[in-house]
Amino acid sequence: MSPHLRKRLVVVGHGMVGHRFVQAAVERGLSETYDIVVLGAESRAAYDRVALTSFFEVGADALSLLPSGDYEDPRVTLRLGTNVAELDVASRTVSLDDGETIGYDELVLATGSAPFVPPVPGHDLEGAFVYRTIEDLEAIRDAAARASTGVVIGGGLLGLEAANALRQLGLDTHVVEMNPRLMSAQVDEAGGRILGRHVEKLGLTIHTGVATERIEGEEHVTGITFAGGETVPLDVVVFSAGVRPRDQLARQAGLAVAERGGVAVDDQLRTSDPHVWAIGECAAHQGRMYGLVAPGYTMAEIAVDALLEGAGTFTGADMSTKLKLLGVDVASFGDAHGTTEGSIDLVFSDAVAGVYKKLVISDDGRHLLGGVLVGDASAYGTLRAMVSSRIELPKNPEELILPASSGAPGVTLPAEAVVCSCNTVTKDDIEGAVEGGCESAACVTTCTTAGSTCGSCKPQVKKIVEDYFASQGKVVDRSLCEHFAMTRAELFDVVLVHGYRTFDEIVEAHGRGRGCDVCRPVVASVLASQLNGHVLAPDRRVLQDTNDAFLANIQRNGTYSVVPRIPGGEITPEKLIVIGEVARDFGLYTKITGGQRIDLFGARTEQLPAIWKRLVDAGFESGHAYGKALRTVKSCVGSSWCRFGVQDSVAMAIALELRYRGLRSPHKLKGGVSGCARECAEARGKDFGVIATEKGWNLYVGGNGGAVPAHAQLLAGDLDDNELVRMIDRFLMYYIRTADRLQRTSTWIDSLEGGLDRVREVVVDDALGLGTELEEAMARHVDTYVDEWKATIEDPEKLRRFVSFVNAPDTPDPNISFGSTRDQIVPEASTGPVSLGPVSLGTSIPVGRP
């Protein structure tokens, strides 16, 4: 096709919704017919505005939704720092600030909204800010460094978030709200009062029902004067008095706009001009603009669908919200304010505990219409689903909100009830996943995506899974095996608390029987994590899986593979030669592994000590390829060679691999370190992944390859070397203590109530005060590490088992034979046991003595 037959689609605004639109357009093939040109006024590519406040902790890079700065699809052009000044629908062009004009076939407005700054005198003085972009936050941070008192004008959701930010920046913080209560859009009066009390406890000063008369100051703000005449002196003002859709381009082009602002769109997001579309916060559907990101994402998908001539329609969105504001749970859903005719309120309030719950019920008392929860929002998931599915209320609806009811006793949601509204997953979908074999809520999340976005439906998902099992007469049995009626985490604590050192003590006190191939290795792993003794110590070796018992990986024909550690994948030519010589001399198959090291296959039990003697003498250590332990820390070449590298990723990978080598854990552990955001080490596919930034390192956790791949999520950003190591120490020890057997970090994080946020609380914010203890546990591991293989070849007692036969130590097992493929050995298929025939065993057998 000749290029000028292609059409051009222009997107104005590269915010969250504009970005989502482009992603969907590329995914669904719109770029097959259109060249897509994206014009964004901000200097940065789209970033996670919802998480804006975490900028102070994690920095700008971590918030980016397009870290590489550009789309991979060459048919998409992204122009940042480019403001569209005018739109001409007649000539189908937009013009930029510098006069350049760009023609379009289709135009998508995704210009978002702008903070509303009330026109009070002094609103434009120095020291007055809004809270919308990363630049805004940078400016606030700089001003706060020179200030002691700040005020936020506006006590809504965003205002409280901004107030919390000022408080964290060390300012004495005031909040001014014209309405008689905080968060008036979401909560009712009584809920607002309880919220106010929570907020005041944190040391914020709240002024409600107060109008601002004037901001004081000559050049820079010095104070605020209220309508009553009272003046509070201060140095920083943040306006957070609501937002206004950025609909100027549409207005000036003569497109229809809604009464209260916003570009008017139909059910397919088309404006009054057939070639102009509007999505996100700048759009008004049926006169209404949505200040949340989820409806914007839905609009983006539907607009792409419409451009592909699909039939999808936007029918409005659920405005239910649940959030943790300043540590307080606040949720509102459905008709929270009871505006439906004849509706009845049902209220539970406990001012001392700081809990307020209200249900809005239909006039006939049969349906739940909406509600407000403050201080305890655990029932949110069920209640929201009850509203959307219009199921009948139970006889005593008050039961739904009495304390300690985490949902709805006696209420059964119908199959079609939408449990996860972010991803439109119904109860039926969830039960289907369980029928299909999912045994845990975490598995259901992976299979159905329920709970994978905002996470607020997770308790509900868990309950449905448990109820389902209960209805089948199955108790979800969390026992390790028939010998221990507890989970691995519980066992870990039992061992720690009692200070047990042997399997015998543990099974006698807390188990039954003599254990099995499930619990014995678990006990071995727990003892190893706590005591770090040798895995082949006399009372330990019979607990180990064969891989640990022979410090090598068993293969299909009963031989073993040998994997020496090559920290960070860096190796000298001399050492490479040694590996080659050992492989050649013992006739082993060699292969480069996916973990940046070399695997030598086909070693017989009795050969392992001699092979390792050679390797240890050359300076190699065990690579623990056999253990539920640290495997590798993969590295990219980093700043020492690579022209893009900003930190020495190889040095860091080596340091981390050496630090955590030998660490026994619930499942294997892998790490990665990349020297820049290009991420050549695939660190985000690892349990802990480190990516260099200009200022230090970003730490990602919970990545996984394997059957259920997961990208690691950002835990903390811009750490220096010491902070990075401290965070990984804590993260790994927390995992080791609390994860289940064979649970990788990604499923472990999913299984925690609160997920990654919980991990961050414990690891970064040290909410449980466990930080030092976890670091000390890791320090003990590091201090007591010895190379398992070196210790083994030096100890005749440990070597005793490395024989082919107890009565013929060096006679090869006749069942092992090799063929050859591509010039190397391969196991030969077995057709049944092979006998060696009568052999003379000589006189050296140590038997017959009493």
Partner 1 sequence: MQRLVAICRLDDIDREGGVTALVDGEVVAVFRTYADDVFALDNFDPFGQASVLSRGIVGTRGDRDVVASPLHKQVFDLRTGLCLDDESVRVAVHPVVVRDGVVHVEAATASAP
Ligand X SMILES: Cc1cc2nc3c(=O)[nH]c(=O)nc-3n(C[C@H](O)[C@H](O)[C@H](O)COP(=O)(O)OP(=O)(O)OC[C@H]3O[C@@H](n4cnc5c(N)ncnc54)[C@H](O)[C@@H]3O)c2cc1C
Residues that bind ligand SF4 (CB under 6 A): 636-638, 642, 644-645, 649, 674-676, 678-680
Residue 678 C-beta: closest distance to ligand SF4, Å: 4
**Cβ-based nearer residue to partner 1, 550 or 601:** 550
Helix (H) or strand (E) holding 821: strand 818-821
How far apart CA 219 and CA 126 sit, in angstroms, is: 6
If one asks whether residue 599 binds ligand SRM (CB under 6 A), the answer comes out as yes
Residue 724 C-beta: closest distance to ligand SF4, Å: 16
If one asks whether residue 331 binds ligand FES (CB under 6 A), the answer comes out as no
For the beta sheet containing 93-96, the strands, ordered from the edge strand earlier in sequence to the opposite edge, are: 84-88, 93-96, 101-103
Q: Of the ranges 34-42, 57-65, 143-151, 459-467, which one interacts with ligand X (CB under 6 A)?
A: 34-42
Q: Which of 43, 247, 199, 223 lies closest to 136 in space, CA to CA?
A: 43
- Return the one option of partner 1, ligand SF4, ligand SRM, none that residue 542 interacts with (CB less than 5 to 8 A, by type): partner 1
Q: Of the ranges 92-100, 593-601, 689-697, 752-760, which one interacts with ligand SRM (CB under 6 A)?
A: 593-601
If one asks whether residue 389 binds ligand FES (CB under 6 A), the answer comes out as no
Paired with 704 in beta bridges are 710
**Cβ-based nearer residue to ligand FES, 380 or 735:** 380
Q: Which residue is nearest to ligand X (CB)?
A: 15
> What are residue 383's phi and psi, to 5 degrees?
-65, -45
Cα 585 to chain centroid, rounded:
47
Q: Of the ranges 286-294, 515-523, 586-594, 789-797, which one interacts with ligand SRM (CB under 6 A)?
A: 586-594
Q: Of the ranges 241-249, 517-525, 641-649, 818-826, which one interacts with partner 1 (CB under 8 A)?
A: 517-525
> What track of x and - describes contact with partner 1 for positions 821 through 840 (by CB under 8 A)?
--------xx-xxxxxxxx-
- Which amino acid is residue 790, in one-letter code? K
- Return the one option of partner 1, ligand X, ligand SRM, none that residue 625 interacts with (CB less than 5 to 8 A, by type): ligand SRM
How far apart CA 18 and CA 568 sit, in angstroms, is: 40
Q: Which of 817, 815, 813, 812 lies closest to 828 in space, CA to CA?
A: 817
Long-range contacts of 718-727 (CB under 8 A, 24+ apart): 718/58, 718/59, 718/61, 718/693, 720/696, 721/652, 721/696, 721/697, 723/696, 724/652, 724/690, 724/696, 724/697, 724/699, 725/655, 725/656, 725/659, 726/775, 727/699, 727/763, 727/764
Q: Which of 445, 443, 415 lies closest to 428 in space, CA to CA?
A: 415
Distance from first CA to last CA of the chain, Å, rounded? 92
Residue 570 C-beta: closest distance to ligand SF4, Å: 13
**Cβ-based nearer residue to ligand SF4, 561 or 649:** 649
Q: Please write down the HEC assignment for all residues of 526-584.
A: HHHHHHCCCCCCCCCHHHCCHHHHCCCEECCCCCEEECECCHHHCCCHHHHHHHHHHHH
- Which amino acid is residue 717, in one-letter code? G
> What track of x and - describes contact with partner 1 for positions 532 through 551 (by CB under 8 A)?
------x--xxxxxx--xx-
Q: Angle formed by the axes of helices 16-27 and 293-307, to 10°?
A: 40
Residue 265 C-beta: closest distance to ligand X, Å: 13
724 close to 683: Cβ distance less than 8 angstroms: no
**Cβ-based nearer residue to partner 1, 626 or 734:** 626
Rg (CA), the chain: 32
Q: Of the ranges 130-138, 341-349, 563-571, 799-807, which one interacts with partner 1 (CB under 8 A)?
A: 799-807
The pair of three-digit structure tokens given for residue 379, joined into one six-digit string: 């029932």
- Longest CA pairwise span in the chain (Å): 110
If one asks whether residue 455 binds ligand X (CB under 6 A), the answer comes out as no
- Residue ranges in 225-352 assigned as alpha helix (H): 248-252, 293-307
**Cβ-based nearer residue to ligand SRM, 71 or 620:** 620
If one asks whether residue 373 binds ligand X (CB under 6 A), the answer comes out as no
If one asks whether residue 455 binds ligand FES (CB under 6 A), the answer comes out as yes
If one asks whether residue 690 binds ligand FES (CB under 6 A), the answer comes out as no
Applying CB under 6 A, the residues found at the interface with ligand FES are 420-423, 450-457
Applying CB under 6 A, the residues found at the interface with ligand X are 12-18, 39-42, 49-50, 52-53, 83-84, 110-112, 131-132, 158, 161, 246, 249, 280-281, 291-294, 296, 323
Applying CB under 8 A, the residues found at the interface with partner 1 are 482-483, 513-517, 519-521, 538, 541-546, 549-550, 554, 556-558, 800-801, 803-808, 811, 813-816, 829-830, 832-839, 841, 845-850
Applying CB under 6 A, the residues found at the interface with ligand SRM are 553, 555, 561, 563, 591, 593-595, 597, 599, 625, 631-632, 668, 670, 704-707, 744
